[in-house]
Amino acid sequence: MMLLARVAIAIYPGSFDPLTNGHLSIIQRGLTVFDRLIVAVLNNSRKQSMFTVEERKALIREAMPDPRVEVDSFQGLLVHYTRKKDVHVILRGLRAVSDFEYEFQLANMNRKLDPQFDTVFMMTGQDSFYISSQLVREVASLGGEVAELVPANVLRALREKFPARNGG
């Protein structure tokens, strides 16, 4: 009897504005559990972002050129996107207890909207539990050093956005 191997795929959704070392760590560790990952950038026209969706996608692709990683974007409800892709598992990183409540709500609301839907959580490593895109944006825009918090290409992109403060 021939057995067909099942490919385990998960969607890793988020704003990624911008990609941080915390996200990268989740992607790298996610690839030890899943065969393929679809990193899906939320295209939210109602929210002001620092990087456009295309810029965010390009930064992710550049930082993670692994053929097992597809980079895509989506609009509207995540459950509509997961159904369209026919992938019913999402991956999310958990940093601290403070993340739990929101993630718990998100996971349960998504499962209410689509009973097939499930969320796999990975704990962020101790090196990145304090990193968030929001803090990276704030620190970088105020001239603080974020070199250890983001991949090199994201650092370059941030320095291009804030040349006067991050120039030297």
Q: Does 50 bind ligand PNS (CB under 6 A)?
A: no
CB 13 within 8 A of CB 90: yes
CB 50 within 8 A of CB 82: no
Could you give the CA distance from residue 53 to residue 147 in angstroms, rounded to a whole number? 22
Binding range to ligand PNS, per CB under 6 A, among 30-38, 104-112, 149-157, 160-168? 104-112
- The yes-or-no answer on residue 49 being catalytic is no
- The yes-or-no answer on residue 112 being catalytic is no
Which spans in the chain are helix H? 21-30, 53-63, 78-85, 97-113, 133-141, 152-161, 163-166
Question: Phi/psi at 4 (nearest 5 deg)?
Answer: -90, 125
- The yes-or-no answer on residue 161 being catalytic is no
Please name the amino acid found at residue 24. Answer: L
Q: Which of 15, 23, 49, 137 is catalytic?
A: 23
Residue nearest to ligand PNS (CB): 14
Residue whose CB is less far from ligand PNS, 115 or 167: 115
- The yes-or-no answer on residue 15 being catalytic is no
Among residues 10, 11, 14, 140, the one that binds ligand PNS under rule CB under 6 A: 14
Q: Is 13 helix (H, G, I), strand (E, B) or coil?
A: strand
Binding range to ligand PNS, per CB under 6 A, among 10-18, 27-35, 118-126, 143-151? 10-18
Question: Phi/psi at 113 (nearest 5 deg)?
Answer: -70, -30
Q: Which of 95, 111, 159, 161 is catalytic?
A: 95
Q: Does 94 bind ligand PNS (CB under 6 A)?
A: no
Least distance from C-beta 29 to ligand PNS, angstroms? 17
In the numeric block, the tokens 């109602």 are attached to 46
Q: Which of 15, 49, 128, 133 is catalytic?
A: 133
What residues are labeled active site?
23, 47, 95, 133
- The contact set with ligand PNS (CB under 6 A) reads 13-15, 42, 77-78, 106, 109-110
